[in-house]
Amino acid sequence: MSATLAAATAEQRLAELGLTLPRAPGAVAAYSPWAITGNLLITSGQLPWIDGDLKFKGRIGADLTPEQGYAACRLATLNAIAQLKDAVGDLERIRRWCGSRAHCRWRPTSRRPRRC
C-alpha cells in the first residue's frame, strides 16, 4: 500500500473511487438504524434509499438487470457506511470492521453470475 493511500481518510479514499456518502437514511419503521453497545456498533439492514425514495425495487433477473442489482447493492453499502458515520461522527473513529452480510433477491429461474 502506498504511503499516500495509507494516509488517506476513509472519506478521501471513497472520493478517490468516485463515491460520495449519501445522508444516512432514517428509520422507516419502529427500529433504530444503528445501536452502540460498549465499543461495538451495529447497523440495521440497509436498502438502496436516496432521500427517502427506494431507488431500486424488485428481483434481479425479473424487475432489475444485473447491472441495476449491482448499483442497488453499492447504494445500500454506501448507506451502511453513512450509518456508521452518523453513529460515531467521523469514520476515522472506526478501527475494525468485523463483518457484513448482503442479501440479493433474484428471480428463481434466472441465471446468476458466479460473483456479484
pLDDT per position as a tens digit, 35-80: 999 999 999 889 999 988 999 999 998 899 989 999 999 999 999 9
Give the mean pLDDT of the chain.
86
What's 66's domain CATH number?
Answer: 3.30.1330.40
Say if residue 85's pLDDT is above 70. Answer: yes
pLDDT band for 97, please (50, 70, 90 cuts): confident
Name the residue range of residue 86's domain: 8-93
Residue 109 in domain: no
| More confident call, 6 vs 73 | 73
- What integer pLDDT is reported at residue 70 of this predicted model? 92
- What integer pLDDT is reported at residue 50 of this predicted model? 92
- 90, 96, 98, 101 alpha-carbon torsion, rounded to 10°: 40
Question: For 101-116, what is the mean pLDDT?
Answer: 68
Residue 37 in domain: yes
Question: For 10-39, what is the mean pLDDT?
Answer: 92
- What integer pLDDT is reported at residue 40 of this predicted model? 92
Give the total residue count for the chain: 116
Number of domains in the chain: 1
Residue 32 in domain: yes
Beta bridge partners of 60: 64, 106
Residue 24 in domain: yes
Task: DSSP for 72-93, please give it.
Answer: HHHHHHHHHHHHHHHHHS-GGG
